[in-house]
C-alpha cells in the first residue's frame, strides 16, 4: 500500500494507472490542485526555518556582525585609551564597575570596548579565511576527483607539498615578502594553509560519488561537466564541507593570535580576541576575566556557526527527519 | 582477435540500410590492468567486450543475455559512450559516436537513453522529481521555462505516477515507482533508442510485470527501439523480438526469439537454455540441465580460438582452440559463431550426459544464466 503522503489531492482518490491496470498504489486525484515546483533554495529554507537551534545560531551571528559593524557607535569607550582609573594603585586591572562593565585589562583599557572592536578582526578572519580555504579546497578537490588523470596528480601532489611545509615559516616568508602587516595577509596565509585538508576530504568524496549511476544518468541527459560537478556532485558534499568549516572557524580565530605574536597580522594596540587571550594569560590568577570574556566571545561565535552549520547540513539533506 | 570483418555484421546485407537504428561494428572495450606505485605501467587488459558487431533494427527489442561478467552491460554502456570503446564503431543517425566528444557527442546522442538497473543509485537523492525529470528539458532547451513543469507532470502521468509529486524526493518512493521516475527521465528527451540495463532485476518480483508492460506500452506509443540487457532468459523471451547471447565478451548466437529458443544452435546457448527451470513440477523433474565443466575463464586472459572451447563438450582439437569462429549467418537470419555448424547439421549437446547436481539447479532458479557451479572450484 502507498503511504498516504503521496496523495496531495483531496480525499476522494480515483485509481487510475497508465495502462489501465487497476493499481491503487499509482492513484492520484484527477481534480487535485496543481502544485507548483519549488526551487532547491526554497526547499532548503523551508527545512531550515523549522530548526530552532539553527535559527538561534543565525540570530547570534547577526548580532555579532551588528556589534562588529557598529562598534564605533555602541562601544562605551575608545579601545586603545589607557584610563588612569582603569588600574588599581598597585597597577592591577580593575573588575566590573558602572564605568567599565567588564573591567579593564592590564594596561587599564576598557575590556568591553576592546571585545566589540576585536569582533571586527576575529569575525573577518574567521569567515573570510575559511571562505577562502573552502573555495580553493572545493575547486581543487572537485577538479582532482572528477577529472582524474594528470590534473589529479598535479593537484594532489601540490597539496602534499603544502601540508608538509611549516606553517610559520611560510607565514614569515610571506610577511617578509610583503613587509606590511595587515589583516589581509593573515586571511591569505590562513586560506592557503587550510585549503589542503579540505581538498583531500572533497577529493576522496568525489572519487566515490562520480562512480554512482546518477552521474552516468546526468551525462546521458546531456549535462556538461560543470553542471554535473555543481548540480549533481556538490550537493552531496555539503555535510563534510560544513563540518570541516565550522571546525575551522574556531581554529582560525586562535591561529590569528599566534600570527600576530610573530609580528604578522593585526598589531597592538588594535584588539582581536585571540590576541586578548594571549595577553591575558600572564594575569590568569590575578585577573581571570581577561581571558574569560574573550574566551566566551570565541565560544559563542563558534557555537553559533556550528548550530547554523548543523542546520544547513540537515536542510540540504532531504532524507533528514524533520524535527 | 582480429576485428570482425564488416561483412560479419548480422543483417549487414540482409536488409536495406536505414533499417537499423544503431549499428555496432567490431566494438571492443578493454580495461587496462596497471601495476606500479609511482610509475604505472600496463601489464595487461581485461577484455570485457572483445569484438562485437550487430545491428539494432528500428522498432525492435533486441535482448542481450549472458552470464554475469560476460560484457553485456559494458556493451550497453559502450554504445552510449558512457565507457569509451577501445576500438570499433557505433553508428547512430549517420555519425560514429565512438569518434565524437564533448558537445558534439551530447547533441548526437540526445535521443539515446538508458534505464538503469538500480533505481536507488540512478536517481540523485538530493533532487526533486521536477529537477530530475525536468533537467533534460533544461539542458537541451526542449521547453520554455514556464512550460517545463507542465511537461514534467505530463511525463510523470505517462509512466503512471501522480503528477503532483513533483516536489517529492526519490527516497519517498518505492523501488518500482523509482524505476518509473527513471523511465520518465529517459522519455523527457523524446528518445528513439533506449538501452534497458537489467531494468527489473533489482525490483520486487511482484512489480516486475508492471514495469515490463509499461516498457512495452511506451514502445508501441512512441516507436521506441530497445536494447534489453538481462540475465533472466524468460523475461528476455517475453519482451524481445531478437535475442543475442554473449559469452566472454563475444556474441555467440543471434537470432529471432522463436528460432533462438526453439532451435538453439550454439553449444553454449543450448547449455544456457537447458538451465532455465520449467514452472511445472513434473516437467521440471524430467528436465536435464547441461552442466558445463569448469569456470568461465578470466576475460583478462581469454582462451585462444573460440572462447568457449575450454568448456564446450563438442570442441574439436586443432580447430576450435586455434581458429576464431566468425559470427556468420548459419540459417536464414540466424547468426552463430561456431565452426561445427554446417549447412545441414549442428552440434546437439546431449542433455543429461552428467547428472545435474543440486547446486547447479539452485543456482539456475534465480539466475537463468548460471549454468555451472558443479565444480564449485576456484581456479587457483
- pLDDT above 70: residue B65: yes
Residues of chain A within CATH 1.10.3720.10 domain(s) are 40-316
pLDDT of residue A34: 65
Q: Tell me the H-state helices in B250-372.
A: 257-262, 267-274, 281-286, 358-366
Q: For chain B, count helices (H), then strands (E).
A: 11, 12
Q: How far is A280 from chain B (nearest CA, A)?
A: 48
Please state, as a whole number, how many other Cβ atoms lie within 10 Å of the Cβ of residue A157: 10
Choose the mutation target among A20, A31, A211, A221 for the interface with B, i.e. most B CBs under 10 Å.
A221
Look over chain B and give the mean of its residue pLDDT values, rounded to a whole number. 83
- List the beta bridge partners of residue B329: B335
Cross-chain residue pair A217–B182, CB shorter than 8 Å: yes
Helix (H) or strand (E) holding B2: none
Look over chain A and give the mean of its residue pLDDT values, rounded to a whole number. 80
How far apart CA B125 and CA B130 sit, in angstroms, is: 13
- pLDDT above 50: residue B366: no
How far apart CA A217 and CA A209 sit, in angstroms, is: 13
How far apart CA A62 and CA A73 sit, in angstroms, is: 17
- pLDDT above 90: residue B243: yes
Give tens-digit pLDDT for B275-311.
Answer: 888 878 888 888 777 778 778 888 888 888 899 988 8
Indicate the pLDDT class of residue B364, thresholds 50, 70 and 90. Answer: very low
Indicate the pLDDT class of residue B205, thresholds 50, 70 and 90. Answer: confident
Please give the average per-residue pLDDT across B327-336, as a whole number. Answer: 89
Specify the higher pLDDT residue, A321 or A157: A157
C-alpha cell at A138: 572545493
Among A122, A134, A106, residue whose Cα is nearest residue A243: A134
Looking at chain B, the whole-number percentage of residues with pLDDT higher than 70 is 87
Radius of gyration of chain A, Cα coordinates, nearest whole angstrom = 26
CA atoms within 13 A on the CB side of B207: 17
Please give the average per-residue pLDDT across B205-226, as a whole number. Answer: 92
pLDDT of residue A23: 43
- List the beta bridge partners of residue B31: B46
- Residue pairs spanning A and B at CB distance below 8 A: 128
pLDDT of residue B17: 47
Choose the mutation target among A4, A26, A34, A220 for the interface with B, i.e. most B CBs under 10 Å.
A220
Cross-chain residue pair B152–A37, CB shorter than 8 Å: yes
Q: What residue spans define the domains of chain B?
A: 6-111+191-366
Contacting residues for B182 by C-beta, under 8 A, at least 6 apart: A217, B115, B116, B119, B122, B123, B199
Please state, as a whole number, how many other Cβ atoms lie within 10 Å of the Cβ of residue B348: 11
Helix (H, G, I), strand (E, B) or coil at B61: strand
pLDDT of residue A78: 81
- pLDDT above 60: residue B200: yes
How far apart CA B102 and CA A224 sit, in angstroms, is: 8
pLDDT of residue A25: 44
Where residue A202 falls (left for φ over 0; alpha for ψ -120 to 50; beta otherwise) is: alpha
How far apart CA A293 and CA B50 sit, in angstroms, is: 72
pLDDT of residue A227: 93
Cross-chain residue pair A216–B130, CB shorter than 8 Å: no
Among B75, B73, B27, residue whose Cα is nearest residue B51: B27
Q: How far is A319 from chain B (nearest CA, A)?
A: 7
- Residues in chain A whose Cβ is within 8 Å of chain B: 3, 5-9, 17-19, 21, 23, 25-28, 32, 34-38, 40, 43, 212-214, 216-224, 227, 232, 235-236, 316-319
- List the beta bridge partners of residue B250: B247
Cross-chain residue pair B177–A5, CB shorter than 8 Å: no
Cross-chain residue pair A37–B165, CB shorter than 8 Å: no
Is the separation of the CB atoms in A217 and B185 below 8 Å? yes
Superfamily name with CATH number, domain B6-111+191-366? P-loop containing nucleotide triphosphate hydrolases (3.40.50.300)
Is the separation of the CB atoms in A233 and A146 below 8 Å? yes
Give tens-digit pLDDT for A262-295.
Answer: 667 677 778 888 888 888 888 888 788 888 888 8
Q: Angle CA(B222)–CA(B227)–CA(B233) in degrees, nearest 5?
A: 120
- pLDDT above 70: residue B103: yes
Residue numbers in A near B119 (CB within 8 A): none
- pLDDT above 50: residue A14: no
SS (H, E, C) chain A: CCCHHHCCCCCCCCCCCCCCCCCHHHCCCCCCCCCCCCCHHHHHHHHHCCCHHHHHHHHHHHHHHHHHHHHHHHCCCCCCCCCHHHECCCCCECCCCCCCCCCECCCCCEHHHHHHHHHHHHHHHHHHHHHHHHHHHHHHHHHHHHHCHHHHHHHHHHHHHHHHCCHHHHHHHHHHHHCCCCHHHHHHHHHHHHHHHHHHHHHHHHHHHCCCHHHHHHHHHCCCHHHHHHHHHHHHHHHHHHHHHHHHHHHHHHHHHHHHHCCCCCCCCCCCHHHHHHHHHHHCCCCCHHHHHHHHHHHHHHHHHHHHHHHHHHHHCCCCCCC
CA atoms within 13 A on the CB side of B357: 8
Does this model's pTM top 0.80? My answer is: no
Q: Chain B window 189-208: which residues touch A at a Cβ cutoff of 8 Å?
A: 189
Helix (H) or strand (E) holding B340: none
Specify the higher pLDDT residue, A58 or A27: A58
Please give the average per-residue pLDDT across B198-222, as a whole number. Answer: 90
Helix (H, G, I), strand (E, B) or coil at B222: helix
Most confident of B182-186, B305-309, B345-349: B182-186
How far apart CA B45 and CA B87 sit, in angstroms, is: 13
Please give the average per-residue pLDDT across A49-65, as a whole number. Answer: 90
Is the separation of the CB atoms in B338 and B266 below 8 Å? yes
Give tens-digit pLDDT for A15-34.
Answer: 333 333 334 444 555 556 66
In the numeric block, the cell 503528477 is attached to B163
Cross-chain residue pair A8–B162, CB shorter than 8 Å: yes
**What b/e sequence results for A166-190 when a residue is b if at least 16 CB atoms lie within 10 Å of its CB, and e otherwise?**
ebeeebbeebeeeeebebebbbbbb
Q: How far is B31 from chain A (nearest CA, A)?
A: 15
How far apart CA B258 and CA B270 sit, in angstroms, is: 14
Give tens-digit pLDDT for A228-237.
Answer: 999 999 999 9
Cross-chain residue pair A35–B166, CB shorter than 8 Å: yes
pLDDT of residue A122: 86
Indicate the pLDDT class of residue A7, thresholds 50, 70 and 90. Answer: very low
pLDDT of residue A321: 56
Locate the chain A residue with the closest alpha carbon to B215: A19
Contact with chain A for residue B341, Cβ under 8 A: no
Indicate the pLDDT class of residue A87, thresholds 50, 70 and 90. Answer: confident
Is the separation of the CB atoms in B111 and B82 below 8 Å? no
pLDDT of residue B350: 61
Q: Chain B window 43-102: which residues touch A at a Cβ cutoff of 8 Å?
A: 77, 80, 82
Choose the mutation target among A17, A38, A147, A222 for the interface with B, i.e. most B CBs under 10 Å.
A222
Where residue A198 falls (left for φ over 0; alpha for ψ -120 to 50; beta otherwise) is: alpha
Choose the mutation target among B160, B163, B170, B190 for the interface with A, i.e. most A CBs under 10 Å.
B160
Superfamily name with CATH number, domain A40-316? MetI-like (1.10.3720.10)
How far apart CA B258 and CA B252 sit, in angstroms, is: 17
Most confident of A31-35, A210-214, A246-250: A210-214
Cross-chain residue pair B213–A21, CB shorter than 8 Å: yes
Q: Chain B window 93-152: which residues touch A at a Cβ cutoff of 8 Å?
A: 106-107, 109-110, 112-114, 116-118, 121-128, 130-131, 134-136, 139-140, 148-149, 152
Amino acid at each position: 500500500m502507498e503511504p498516504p503522503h503521496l496523495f496531495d489531492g483531496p480525499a476522494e482518490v480515483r485509481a487510475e494507472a497508465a495502462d489501465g491496470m487497476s493499481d491503487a498504489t499509482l492513484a492520484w486525484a484527477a481534480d487535485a490542485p496543481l502544485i507548483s515546483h519549488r526551487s532547491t533554495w526554497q526547499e532548503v529554507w523551508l527545512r531550515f526555518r523549522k530548526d530552532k537551534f539553527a535559527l538561534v545560531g543565525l540570530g547570534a551571528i547577526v548580532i555579532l556582525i551588528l556589534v562588529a559593524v557598529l562598534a564605533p557607535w555602541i562601544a562605551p569607550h575608545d579601545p586603545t585609551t589607557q584610563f588612569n582609573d582603569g588600574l588599581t594603585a598597585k597597577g592591577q586591572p580593575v573588575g566590573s564597575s558602572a564605568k567599565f562593565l567588564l573591567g579593564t585589562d592590564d594596561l587599564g583599557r576598557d575590556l568591553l570596548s576592546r571585545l566589540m572592536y576585536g569582533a571586527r578582526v576575529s569575525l573577518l578572519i574567521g569567515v573570510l579565511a575559511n571562505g577562502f580555504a573552502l573555495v580553493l579546497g572545493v575547486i581543487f578537490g572537485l577538479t582532482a576527483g572528477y577529472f582524474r588523470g594528470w590534473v589529479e596528480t598535479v593537484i594532489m601532489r601540490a597539496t602534499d607539498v603544502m601540508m608538509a611545509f611549516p606553517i610559520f615559516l611560510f607565514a614569515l616568508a610571506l610577511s617578509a615578502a610583503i613587509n606590511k602587516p595587515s589583516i589581509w595577509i593573515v586571511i591569505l596565509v590562513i586560506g592557503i594553509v587550510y585549503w589542503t585538508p579540505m581538498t583531500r576530504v572533497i577529493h576522496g568524496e568525489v572519487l566515490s560519488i562520480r562512480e554512482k549511476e546518477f552521474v552516468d544518468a546526468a551525462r546521458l541527459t546531456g549535462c556538461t561537466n560543470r553542471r554535473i560537478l555543481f548540480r549533481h556532485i556538490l550537493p552531496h558534499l555539503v555535510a563534510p564541507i560544513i563540518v570541516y568549516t565550522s571546525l575551522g572557524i574556531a581554529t582560525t580565530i586562535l591561529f590569528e593570535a599566534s600570527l600576530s605574536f610573530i609580528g604578522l597580522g593585526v598589531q597592538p594596540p588594535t584588539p582581536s580576541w585571540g590576541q586578548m587571550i594571549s595577553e591575558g594569560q600572564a594575569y590568569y590568577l590575578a585577573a581571570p576575566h581577561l581571558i574569560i570574556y574573550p574566551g566566551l566571545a570565541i565560544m559563542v561565535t563558534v557555537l553559533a556557526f556550528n548550530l547554523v552549520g548543523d542546520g544547513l547540513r540537515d536542510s540540504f539533506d532531504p532524507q533528514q527527519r524533520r524535527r | 582477435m582480429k576485428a570482425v570483418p564488416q561483412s560479419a555484421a548480422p543483417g549487414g546485407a540482409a536488409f536495406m540500410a536505414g533499417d537499423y537504428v544503431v549499428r555496432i561494428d567490431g566494438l571492443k572495450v578493454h580495461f587496462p590492468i596497471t601495476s606500479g606505485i609511482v610509475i604505472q605501467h600496463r601489464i595487461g587488459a581485461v577484455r570485457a567486450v572483445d569484438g562485437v558487431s550487430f545491428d539494432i533494427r528500428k522498432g525492435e527489442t533486441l535482448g542481450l543475455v549472458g552470464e554475469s561478467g560476460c560484457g553485456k552491460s559494458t556493451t550497453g554502456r559502450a554504445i552510449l559512450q558512457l565507457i569509451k570503446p577501445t576500438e570499433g564503431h557505433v553508428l547512430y543517425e549517420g555519425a560514429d559516436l565512438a569518434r565524437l566528444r564533448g558537445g558534439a557527442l551530447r547533441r548526437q546522442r540526445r535521443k539515446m537513453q538508458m534505464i538503469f538497473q538500480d533505481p536507488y543509485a540512478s536517481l540523485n537523492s538530493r533532487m526533486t522529481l521536477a529537477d530530475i525529470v525536468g533537467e533534460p528539458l533544461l539542458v537541451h532547451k526542449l521547453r520554455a521555462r514556464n512550460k517545463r513543469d507542465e511537461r514534467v507532470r505530463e511525463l510523470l502521468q505517462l509512466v503512471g505516477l501522480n503528477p503532483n509529486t513533483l516536489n517529492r524526493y526519490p527516497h519517498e518512493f518505492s523501488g518500482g515507482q523509482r524505476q518509473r521516475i527513471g523511465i520518465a527521465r529517459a522519455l523527457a528527451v523524446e528518445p528513439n533508442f533506449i538501452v534497458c540495463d537489467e531494468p527489473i532485476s533489482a525490483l520486487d518480483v511482484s512489480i516486475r510485470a508492471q514495469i515490463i508492460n509499461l516498457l512495452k506500452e511506451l514502445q508501441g506509443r512512441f516507436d521506441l527501439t530497445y536494447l534489453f540487457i538481462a540475465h533472466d532468459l524468460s523475461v528476455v523471451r517475453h519482451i524481445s523480438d531478437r535475442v543475442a547471447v554473449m559469452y566472454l565478451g563475444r556474441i555467440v548466437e543471434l537470432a529471432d526469439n522463436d528460432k533462438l529458443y526453439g532451435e538453439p544452435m550454439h553449444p553454449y546457448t543450448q547449455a544456457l537454455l537447458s538451465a532455465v527451470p520449467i514452472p511445472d513440477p513434473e516437467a521440471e523433474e524430467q528436465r536435464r540441465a547441461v552442466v558445463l565443466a569448469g569456470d568461465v575463464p578470466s576475460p583478462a586472459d581469454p582462451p585462444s580460438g573460440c572462447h568457449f572451447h575450454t568448456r564446450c563438450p563438442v570442441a574439436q582439437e586443432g580447430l576450435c582452440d586455434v581458429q576464431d569462429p566468425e559470427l556468420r549467418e548459419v540459417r536464414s537470419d540466424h547468426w552463430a559463431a561456431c565452426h561445427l555448424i554446417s549447412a545441414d547439421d549442428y552440434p546437439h549437446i546431449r542433455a543429461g550426459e552428467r547428472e545435474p547436481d543440486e547446486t547447479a539447479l539452485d543456482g539456475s532458479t534465480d539466475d537463468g544464466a548460471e549454468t555451472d557451479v558443479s565444480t564449485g572450484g576456484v581456479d587457483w
